[in-house]
Every structure is written in structure tokens, then in C-alpha cells.
């Protein structure tokens, strides 16, 4: 098990380029099952979750070549509905993304329960209801068994705005006979990436980026060459790292078109940046003062479906708030365990009141002190890295393999920005 040893209090300086969007790479890899022709994906992040997804689709008979670490040639020339490895499925949530394309292409899949971060219950009902609406038969006996004898287009109203359920519904619908409408669809950048890839492969998806997608089924898809966009979660993590260390950095190819709402939220925390083309510049001079609501009321930062503030950035925002003057309430109604990492920030000196599993109040600014901690999940783990970069003294973060699942070579990138961070393997 690897750990990070971080000597904090050093302002970051320089340029950094984020990796490709993990949450786009995973469904795009699954989408390659929908065609018998080769597909090339570029800017694929070198992270653990992507490697596991690659192993899963290889187990179905897919050929994968990597001429460069971030370029994948995928050829699903002949796939077979083999029962997937339970251990691999247990490691990532995204294993469920194989259901849509496999049901659409070969009409069968046996899927062990998916795993992923331990942040509370993550229901799969929405996926099942969407696929059943298209004509799939699904049963559960220690594993999900999907079967279909041809899918038919349908009007699908998702019972919640689930990202992965939207992706499964899209991938199943593109080969279904007739027209499908997906309402209450999620619209995150990675869903838009999936739609653009599928259209490049010959699908007919319209209203991309909205919460109502129209899909005309086609008989077959062809190959394509597609570049994955920047990971906006990594971009904002670097913004937060610069802010809490009082550093000055430029983030290259940041995908600034997706950051409007995130920018509004971070401006309320006193964190600003400049857009320079598709690059993002974070100055060292930051206000770091929480903007109160009208009449001086304590503001609330809520997570909501895109294009509102995303749940995956809540942990980063909380760390930024510990270094901003004022009081703010954070509310994440999506996951009941998202806030539990705040006890580690309290141990470092942060003034945080955990109101309940979904809400916490942060009073800042408070200087943080080094601590020994363990990463509980991807996003909280990265938040602890930011806290350690800000803290006085030498912090140790164990179980950083969790962070590696979602962030590409984050320790190397931080070292290039001047951070004193070392990766060590525990015996």
C-alpha cells in the first residue's frame, strides 16, 4: 500500500496539464463494444479505474493496443458474454456501464454487483428501469443477469438524474429499433463526450447537453477517432491547491467552457481565476473571504445535478473554505458518507461542525497542522492532499491507491509545481 508524505506550507508555482476526464473515459471504453470496427481514444487518463475497465472489456474478447500511454486502439471484433470477474467489478462502480452496450450488441451479460467508493448507498434501480423500458429482461441472483432479443426505442423517464444510468440508457438506445427519448437525463461534460463519440461512430443523438435526449436508433455503428476532454475535477483540484498554498499556477487546456457554475461557487469562497483562451490562470493574490448572503446571512453551498455544483467537488470546496474568512454551510444530499472525512480536517485544526451525514459548517480561516491520515475515497483523498499542502509540518496520507483511481500521476504533477510530496510504499 502506497502513502504520500507531504511537507506543507510551500506555495505552488508553474504550469500543469490535467489528464483526460476519468468519468468520460470509462463510458467511452464501454461504448467501443457497440461496433465491430476499431475505435481510437486519445487523452485516456493513466489511472487505476481506467486500467480495470480495460481488463473488464478485454475479458469480453475486446482487443486493446496502446501505442502511447494515453492513446488506446480498441477493437471489439468479436465479443462474448462471459461472466465478469467479481473481484474486478468490485473495484469500480463503472463496471455497470457494460450492461447497456452488451445488451444492445449481443443481448446478454452476467454482471456481479459493482463496487467503487464507500460514500453511502448507490442504487442501481434507475439503470434497470431504463434498460427494461427498452425491452431487456433482468433478474438478480448474486449477480445481475441481463438478456434481450433486440431492443426497441422507448420514452424513458429516469426516476433520478443518474449519470451512469443516463449513459447506460444512451448506449442501449443507439442500436434500438425506432426512436428513444431520455427525459430527466444527466448532462455532465462526460455524458456530452459520450454522445459526441457515439455520433462520430454513426449514432443519431440530438439535444446533447440538455436533460432531454432524442435518439434515433441505427442498425450499426462504425469506428471513430476521438479525444477525451480535460478532467474538470482535476482542474479544480489544482485551483484549490494553488489557493490554499497562496500559489500562482497556470492550468493548460483546462476545458474552461464547463467551469461557469463551479467558478461562481469558488468566487463565493474568495477563490478566483482568469481564463486565457482554454487555459486557466490562478493568481497568488486571493481574497479568500466567504461572501455572505443578503443581510450577512451564512451562505449555503449545495450540490445539484449538472450544470449546478457537482458533488465530486464538495470535498475540495470544504478544504478551500477552511482557509477563507467567514462561515459557510455545505450540504451534500446525494451521499450520506461524503462528509465523514471532515473529522480528519478537524484533527488538523479546522473549525468544522458536522451537523449530520449530509451537512457541515466551516468557520475560517484556520491554520492547519500536519497529521497522519488515511484516504477514504478518491475525492476526499485529494482533499486531504490539499489540506496537507496547506498545513505546517509533514503529513502522511495512507491508502493513496484510492486517489490513484481518479487522479493521473498527481504526486508527479504537484512536484513539478514545487510541492514537497513523496510517494512511499509501506511494507
Q: Is the pLDDT of residue 242 over 80?
A: yes
Q: Is the pLDDT of residue 118 over 90?
A: no
Q: 115, 90 in Cβ contact below 8 A? A: yes
Catalytic residue among 117, 193, 231, 332: 117
Query: Reduced to 3 states, what is the DSSP secondary structure of residue 349?
Result: coil
**In terms of DSSP bridges, do strands 326-331 and 359-364 run parallel, antiparallel, or are they unpaired?**
antiparallel
Q: Is the pLDDT of residue 401 over 60?
A: yes
The answer to whether 312 is a known catalytic residue is no
Domain range 22-227, its CATH number among 3.65.10.10, 3.90.1150.10, 3.40.1410.10, 3.50.50.60: 3.65.10.10
pLDDT tens by residue, 271-287: 999 999 999 999 999 99
pLDDT tens by residue, 296-336: 999 999 999 899 999 999 999 999 999 999 999 999 988 77
Domain boundaries defined on the chain? 2-19+230-425, 22-227
2-19+230-425 and 22-227 share one fold:
yes
Q: Is the pLDDT of residue 383 over 80?
A: yes
Q: Is the pLDDT of residue 294 over 50?
A: yes
- Would you give the distance in Å from CA 307 to the centre of its chain? 14
Residue among 355, 358, 357 at smallest CA distance from 333: 358
Q: Is the pLDDT of residue 134 over 80?
A: yes
148 or 421, greater pLDDT: 421
Query: Using 50, 70 and 90 to split pLDDT, how confident is the model at 384?
Result: very high
Tell the burial category of 227 from Cβ atoms under 10 Å away from its Cβ (0-12, 13-18, 19+). Answer: middle
Query: Using 50, 70 and 90 to split pLDDT, how confident is the model at 157?
Result: very high
Query: Using 50, 70 and 90 to split pLDDT, how confident is the model at 121?
Result: very low
Q: Is the pLDDT of residue 85 over 90?
A: no
Q: How many CA atoms lie within 13 A of 17 on its CB side?
A: 5
Range in 95-104, 123-132, 176-185, 250-259 with the lowest mean pLDDT: 123-132
Counting residues of the chain whose pLDDT is more than 70, the rounded percentage is 98
Range in 29-43, 59-73, 92-106 with the lowest mean pLDDT: 92-106
Range in 5-9, 37-41, 148-152 with the lowest mean pLDDT: 148-152
Residue among 115, 109, 111 at smallest CA distance from 136: 109
- Would you give the distance in Å from CA 154 to the centre of its chain? 28
CATH level 3 topology of 2-19+230-425? UDP-n-acetylglucosamine1-carboxyvinyl-transferase; Chain (3.65.10)
Amino acid at each position: 500500500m502506497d502513502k504520500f508524505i507531504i511537507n506543507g506550507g510551500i506555495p505552488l508555482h508553474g504550469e500543469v496539464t490535467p489528464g483526460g476526464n476519468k468519468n468520460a473515459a470509462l463510458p467511452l471504453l464501454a461504448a467501443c463494444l457497440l461496433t465491430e470496427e476499431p475505435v481510437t481514444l486519445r487523452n485516456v487518463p493513466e489511472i487505476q479505474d481506467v486500467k480495470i475497465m480495460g481488463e473488464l472489456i478485454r475479458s469480453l474478447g475486446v482487443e486493446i493496443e496502446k501505442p502511447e500511454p494515453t492513446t488506446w486502439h480498441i477493437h471489439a471484433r468479436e465479443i462474448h458474454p462471459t461472466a465478469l470477474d467479481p473481484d474486478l467489478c468490485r473495484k469500480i462502480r463503472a463496471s455497470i456501464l457494460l450492461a447497456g452496450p452488451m445488451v444492445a450488441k449481443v443481448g446478454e451479460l452476467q454482471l456481479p454487483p459493482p463496487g467503487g467508493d464507500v460514500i453511502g448507498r448507490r442504487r442501481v434501480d434507475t439503470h434497470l428501469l431504463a434498460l427494461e423500458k427498452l425491452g431487456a429482461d433482468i433478474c438478480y441472483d448474486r449477480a445481475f443477469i441481463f438478456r434481450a432479443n433486440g431492443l426497441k426505442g422507448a420514452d424513458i423517464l429516469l426516476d433520478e438524474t443518474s449519470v451512469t444510468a443516463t449513459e447506460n440508457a444512451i448506449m442501449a438506445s443507439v442500436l434500438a429499433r425506432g426512436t428513444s427519448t431520455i427525459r430527466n437525463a444527466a448532462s455532465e461534460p462526460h455524458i456530452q463526450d459520450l454522445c459526441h463519440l457515439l455520433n462520430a461512430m454513426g449514432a443519431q443523438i440530438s439535444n446533447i447537453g440538455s436533460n432531454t435526449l432524442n435518439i434515433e436508433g441505427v442498425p450499426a455503428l462504425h469506428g471513430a477517432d476521438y479525444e477525451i476532454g480535460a478532467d474538470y475535477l482535476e482542474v479544480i483540484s489544482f485551483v484549490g491547491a494553488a489557493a490554499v498554498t497562496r500559489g500562482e499556477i497556470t492550468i493548460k487546456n483546462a476545458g474552461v467552457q464547463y467551469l461557469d457554475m463551479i467558478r461562481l461557487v469558488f468566487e463565493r469562497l474568495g477563490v478566483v481565476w482568469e481564463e486565457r483562451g482554454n487555459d486557466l490562470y490562478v493568481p497568488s493574490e486571493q481574497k479568500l473571504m466567504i461572501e455572505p448572503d443578503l443581510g450577512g446571512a451564512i451562505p449555503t453551498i449545495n450540490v445539484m445535478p449538472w450544470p449546478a455544483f457537482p458533488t465530486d467537488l464538495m470535498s475540495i470546496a470544504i478544504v478551500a473554505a477552511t482557509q477563507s474568512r467567514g462561515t459557510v454551510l455545505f450540504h451534500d444530499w446525494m451521499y450520506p458518507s461524503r462528509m465523514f472525512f471532515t473529522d480528519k480536517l478537524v484533527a488538523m485544526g479546522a473549525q468544522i461542525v458536522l451537523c449530520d451525514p449530509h451537512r457541515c459548517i466551516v468557520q475560517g480561516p484556520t491554520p492547519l497542522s500536519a497529521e497522519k491520515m488515511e484516504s477514504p475515497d478518491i475525492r476526499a483523498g485529494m482533499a486531504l492532499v490539499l489540506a496537507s499542502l496547506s498545513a505546517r509540518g509533514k503529513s502522511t496520507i495512507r491508502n493513496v491507491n484510492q486517489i490513484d483511481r481518479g487522479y493521473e500521476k498527481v504526486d508527479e504533477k504537484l512536484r513539478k509545481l514545487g510541492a514537497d510530496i513523496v510517494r512511499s510504499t509501506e511494507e
